[in-house]
Amino acid sequence: MFDIDGTLVQSYEFDEQIYACAVEQVIGFKIDRDWSQYENVTDVGILNELIELHNLNMQKETILHKVKSIFIREVSNHISKNPTKEIPGAISFINQLSDLDNVIVSFATGGWYETAVLKLNSAGFNYSTDIISSSDDHFERTKIMALSRARHPAYSDANCTYFGDGIWDKKACEELNFNFVLVGNRATHNQRINDFNSVNEAMAYIGL
């Protein structure tokens, strides 16, 4: 199971910038961009917390709709001019795993579904859309990940390894008892790869 932004696709920096600007444009004030301070680090989870914090519950659905619409539009505009790139080796690694009979591949992202698809397509990933769980499914990262697993019956009796790049990914894996592999250096963890060119190391962390 894979996160997307910063894990499979080099999109973390522009994604968080566009997201923050979209939120600020709609709610009208600056927000704390240290995402680790939020309880649920997902597109909907962060927005829910800001709405609650600033007593905007009466406008919740309108705010969610407006932020999502602006965010999708601006991500699409950015990608049209600056196509996304894979984290080195990610496409090849996903394809290798997908070819194995004893492995199920899925994506569980804290982002919205539409922008996840935009970024994966732009970077050149080949995948089935039914393997993506996102912030459209739930505002809690652990629920998104659990749903990704539940959608595939064969997952239920199997060990699950999650590749992610954030401290919130690590925390979610601890709560769900998933095996966690950190991609990159934005957090610390004993199982870590710089990128997916470390194929043998990544395979060993999965147990293959």
pLDDT digits (tens, 9 = 90+) for 27-52: 999 999 999 899 999 999 999 999 99
Residue 193 has phi, psi (to 5 degrees) of -125, 150
pTM of structure? 0.93
What is the C-alpha to C-alpha distance for residues 184 and 194, in angstroms, rounded to an integer?
5
pLDDT at 157: 65
* Predicted local confidence at residue 85, as pLDDT: 97
Give the alpha-carbon dihedral of 8, 15, 138, 2, to 10 degrees: 10
Burial 168-178 (b: 16+ CB within 10 A, else e): bbbbbbeebeb
What tokens were used for 87?
Answer: 């984290």
Can you list the residues of the chain whose pLDDT is less than 70?
Answer: 155-158
- Residues 8 and 2 sit within 8 Å (Cβ to Cβ): yes
Residue 72 and residue 118: Cα distance in Å, rounded? Answer: 9
Is 1 in contact with 178 (CB distance < 8 Å)?
A: yes
d(CA 188, CA 196): 17
Determine the pLDDT at residue 138.
Answer: 97
Alpha-carbon span 96 to 47, nearest angstrom: 36
Per-residue model confidence as pLDDT tens digits over 181-191: 999 999 999 99
**Reduced 3-state DSSP string for 140-169:** CHHHHHHHHHHCCHHHCCCCCEEEECCHHH
